[in-house]
Amino acid sequence: MTRTLPLTLALLGACVAVFVYATTLSGEDYAQFLVRHALIPRLMFGEPVDTTGYNPLPAPVTLVTSLFVHGDTAHLVLNMIVLISFGAIVERALGAWRMAAIYFVAGIAGGLLHAAIEPNSIVPIVGASGALSGVFATAFLLEPRGRIILVVVPMPYWLGMIVFVATHAVFIATGWSPGIAWLAHVGGLLGGFAATAVLAPRLLGRV
């Protein structure tokens, strides 16, 4: 079992570096950066969009690039806390390459689910939350009877999973979305479970 966390630290460093770079941009430069790197559902599944004056990356590529872009400091800090907390568990148990596979499969699954259900949305989707939902799913399978701190409340993993699923179901059903792509979180969670089932099927027997 490795004590070092090269992938977790690399992902954290990349997210922080991209955020710091984005803070140096303003006005039109920031808009160009966001349109180029964020996931915009309509560019992937919806009607054609006039991108005159912009140079967006191919839509499938933004399923990955959007995972490293964060909207504000709170968004970044919260996601990095989740990355350190659960990424450390997953990387130490499964190694860097399987952690990477789970992270990116979950992130892509989250982006695809959101874009498929909101195909004509032009709201840019950014952040590692979908990927981290998948990492959380894997951590749950690793330690289903362990304990976590959700927000500031300590609880068993299984209860944390119930809270995650229940709150997302309520928010999606009510349409409450203060700039948060709940569907991407759900897609990421499902992607994490699916990736873990392929990469570490023995974990399924722990639940």
pLDDT tens for 140-182 read 999 888 888 766 778 888 888 898 999 999 988 888 777 789 9
Residue 17 scores a pLDDT above 90: yes
Instruction: Using the predicted structure, report yes or no on whether residue 137 has a pLDDT greater than 50.
Output: yes
Residue 108 vs residue 163, higher pLDDT: 108
Q: What percent of the chain has pLDDT over 90?
A: 68
Is 123 a domain residue? Answer: yes
Distance (Å, rounded) from C-alpha 111 to C-alpha 74? Answer: 21
Phi (first) and psi of residue 39, to 5 degrees: -85, 120
Tell me whether residue 149 is in a domain.
yes
User: Taking 80 as the threshold, does the pLDDT of residue 52 lie above it?
Assistant: no
**Confidence (pLDDT) at 106:** 98
For residue 32, tell me if it sits in a domain. Answer: yes
Q: What is the pLDDT of residue 37?
A: 95
- Would residue 157 count as lying in a domain? yes
Banded pLDDT at 3 (limits 50, 70, 90): low
Q: What is the mean pLDDT of the chain?
A: 90
Kindly tell me if the per-residue pLDDT of 78 is higher than 80.
yes
Distances (CA, A) of 28 to 25, 35, 193: 8, 10, 39
Residue 161: domain span = 6-206
How many domains does the chain fold into? Answer: 1
113 lies in a domain? yes
pTM over 0.85: yes
Provide the β-strand partners of residue 153.
150
Q: Tokens 């399923």 belong to which residue?
A: 63
Contacts of 181 (CB under 8 A, 6+ apart): 110, 114, 125, 127, 129, 130
In a domain, 1, yes or no: no
Q: Is residue 139 over pLDDT 90?
A: yes
Of the candidates 131, 91, 93, the one whose C-alpha atom is nearest the C-alpha of residue 111 is 131
> CA torsion sign, 124 to 127 to 128 to 134?
negative
Tell me the CA distances in angstroms from 8 to 84, 108, 141, one per residue in order.
7, 18, 18
Structure tokens at 50: 């006039």
**Which run of H or of E encompasses 200?**
none
pLDDT for 59 equals 92
Q: Could you read off the pLDDT of 20-49 as tens digits, one per residue?
A: 999 999 889 999 999 999 999 999 887 777
Residue 55 in any domain: the answer is yes
Sign of CA dihedral 133, 123, 76, 37: positive
Q: Which amino acid is at 97?
A: W
Task: Find the CATH number of the domain harbouring 46.
Answer: 1.20.1540.10
